[in-house]
Amino acid sequence: MTARPIELLRPLLVVLAAALPAGLAAAETLTVEQRSVADEKAVFATVESISVVPARGRIGGTVVQLNVREGDRVTRGQAIASIGDEKLGLQMKALDAQIEALQAQANQAQIDFTRIEGLVERGTLPRVKLDEARTALNVAENGLRARTAERAVVNQQLSEGQVLAPSDGRVLKKLVTVGSVVLPGDPVVTVAQQNFKLRLRVPERHARFLKTGDRIRIDGAELGNGASRSGVIDLVYPQIEEGRVIADATVEGLGEYFVGDRLRVWVSAGSRPAFVIPASYVKTRFGIDYVRLVQAGRTIDVPVQRGRELPGPSLPDGLEILSGVRAGDQLVRP
């Protein structure tokens, strides 16, 4: 009886199946090594403004208009409120009347000076009369300039009734309402500057590991959008308060959160040894993680406990293995 083709090829397939794993093991073998990684600790931090500045009124009077409320964003120089003072309006009317009278006096003095100057040139009047007319004209013109300058001062005071935002940021609190009486320098609203910081409070036992330039990590669950973010510590305060060290970190996008919002942040607290391998060497089957280990010339699957991801320059997909491997183990990519 003639043998079927599949039976003739079976010995060759067996040889190829035995040789293929050995070739892969020789080509993609990874030696497990223990390396030093940053030991991260979870601490709480709050979103705070660099500084909270008050928007103050420059004149006294009554608040006649309030253009913002809590939470509104403002820009530097934006009109926040208006303060009115009836006395300034009355002063403006009085000065306008005085300026009109002085303007008439100056016009008359100019007419008298011109007439006397002609009479003096014809010899009808002595020159002393010309000097008196010139003096009267100068007095009238100087009085007019003085009242005009005084009116400009009152007009500037009226324009200072506009309360302007001192910087870009967000209104935290209104301190007055429409109709409130304020004095010069009284705060109207408080504005948190736009560049928010993340203020960390780290236990003092971790203070020796904290330094400027360290990176911090915020989980996506804390931010509410599922995407983790990182930041940089730019200031460590040299004072311990209630057993904690205060530090400020810069994180992009903190302006979207409430001032005073509490977040859980991971900071570096020294280093520790760990086994880190590429994530591609780990295979998950039925909810259990395995790595392929080379032992005595053959490969076996060993269950491992997965840790957190530790990406780095040399291992962009680095993954910490908590148990299941030892230093010197030879791994094969599944």
- Pick from 248, 253, 254: nearest CA to 267: 248
Asked if CATH classification 2.40.50.100 holds for the domain at 53-78+164-192, the reply, yes or no, is yes
The amino acid present at 127, given as its one-letter code, is: R
Contacts of residue 213, Cβ cutoff 8 Å, sequence gap at least 6: 232, 233, 234
pLDDT at 292 over 50: yes
Q: How far apart are CA 179 and CA 65, in angstroms?
A: 8
Distance of CA 304 to the CA centre of its chain: 42
CATH 1.10.287 maps onto the chain at 86-159
Q: What is the pLDDT of residues 210-249, one digit of tens each?
A: 888 888 888 766 666 656 778 888 888 888 888 888 888 8
Instruction: For residue 2, give the 3-state DSSP assignment.
Output: coil
CATH class (in words) of the domain with range 86-159: mainly alpha
- Rounded to 5 degrees, what angle do the CA atoms 159, 164, 169 make? 170
Alpha-carbon distances of 132 from 22, 125, 151, 250, rounded to whole Å = 122, 12, 29, 74
- Pick from 49, 68, 75: nearest CA to 257: 49
Mean pLDDT calculated for residue range 194-216: 81
First to last CA, the chain: 42
- Pick from 168, 146, 1, 144: nearest CA to 80: 168
User: Beta strand pairing status for 79-84 and 187-193?
Assistant: unpaired
Greater confidence (203 vs 135) lies with: 135
CB 80 within 8 Å of CB 173: no
CATH of domain 42-49+194-271: 2.40.30.170
Looking at residue 188, what is its pLDDT? 92
pLDDT at 3 over 80: no
- Pick from 65, 41, 37, 100: nearest CA to 264: 41
Looking at residue 280, what is its pLDDT? 87
CATH 2.40.30.170 maps onto the chain at 42-49+194-271
Looking at residue 4, what is its pLDDT? 46
H and E: helices and strands count for the chain: 4, 20
pLDDT at 8 over 50: no
Q: How far apart are CA 130 and CA 116, in angstroms?
A: 6
Contacts of residue 103, Cβ cutoff 8 Å, sequence gap at least 6: 144
pLDDT at 287 over 70: yes
Q: How far apart are CA 190 and CA 175, in angstroms?
A: 8
pLDDT at 99 over 70: yes
CATH 2.40.50.100 maps onto the chain at 53-78+164-192
pTM: 0.50
CA dihedral 83, 86, 87, 92 (to 10 degrees): 100
